Amino acid sequence: MATGMPECSPALLVAAGLAVLAICSYLAAIVVGRGAARYPPVAGTVFHQVYHLRRLHDYYTDLFREHATFRLLAPGRRQIYTSDTAVVEYILRTNFANYGKVRDTKGASNYDKTSDLFGDGIFTADGDKWRQHRKIASYDFSARALRDFSGGVFNRDAAKLAHIVSGNAAAKQPMDFQDLLMKATMDSIFTIAVGVDLDTLSGSEEGSRFAAALDDASEFTLLRFVNAFWKVSRFLNVGAEAALRRRIEVVDEFMYKRIRARAEEISDGDIGKAHDTVSM
């Protein structure tokens, strides 16, 4: 029976619902925030992040032109963004102990978002565990390590990158310079931190497959910070969460293979093998 009412697609209804939720959250923040001058201004909601996902960095830049520090609303919490150097120093140095990165006062957890990819490493740990990781990592970036080993690695890969760029320029061949810079960075960092030369600049198939999987997994992990429904997608194993799971499988397979190989080297007493692969 015709009712005379227009039909609405499910996608349109979902979009309308999100728009109404974003508007309500924004208005509620304005009402609650009146008289609370000590809080940074509200510049939008996490749903605005989703809307501007493909130009997210440009969106943040536009907001920072208006406010050095601002808030974005999320369901049950507020997110604070800042480009004020004084605020950054206060968080990272002056009162660092007050700003744990794992859990906030609402109990929400950044660890939940990042641990699938990064486990309990330095990027997800907090407190004493983070300090332990930091102490271990500091040995790779001490003045002596940079002079005796790391500097040689960076110089080697920079020379390799320069050779590729100059060759393409001489042949007037187009190149993806950002991709080349990422490959050079990945090759250097993994040689220093893991003792493995990915050799992506030279087109190593295994290294390139791992680097691409890690890059994709990092992007999908970042999406969790702007997608309020990522846990639903993970539970259903659909969309970006399904892709993230596949990429993590590639990353884990590569890393565990290297860990086993390194353990065998150490057990055989060949603990300097990784460093010997780099010409100084």
| Three-class SS state of 159 | helix
pLDDT (0 to 100) of residue 218? 92
pTM of this structure: 0.67
Tokens 């860990």 sit at which residue?
259
pLDDT (0 to 100) of residue 273? 52
- Closest to 77 in 3D by CA, of 29, 112, 139: 29
Please report how many Cα atoms fall inside a 13 Å half-sphere around the Cα of residue 266, on the Cβ side: 7
CA distance 116 to 102: 14
Tokens 């080697």 sit at which residue?
156
CA distance 84 to 62: 15
CA distance 213 to 243: 10
pLDDT digits (tens, 9 = 90+) for 12-64: 555 555 555 556 555 555 555 554 557 889 998 888 888 888 888 899 999 99
Contact 112, 104 (CB under 8 A): no
pLDDT (0 to 100) of residue 261? 87
Q: Please report the sign of the dihedral spanned by the C-alpha atoms of residue 75, residue 45, residue 229, residue 251.
A: negative
Counting as low any pLDDT under 50, the low residues of the chain are 1-6, 35, 103-108, 274-275, 277-280
Extract the tokens encoding 139. Answer: 């040995």
pLDDT (0 to 100) of residue 279? 45
pLDDT (0 to 100) of residue 24? 56
pLDDT (0 to 100) of residue 107? 36
Extract the tokens encoding 76. Answer: 């049950």
pLDDT (0 to 100) of residue 2? 44
The torsion angles phi and psi of 67, rounded to 5 degrees, stand at -140, 130
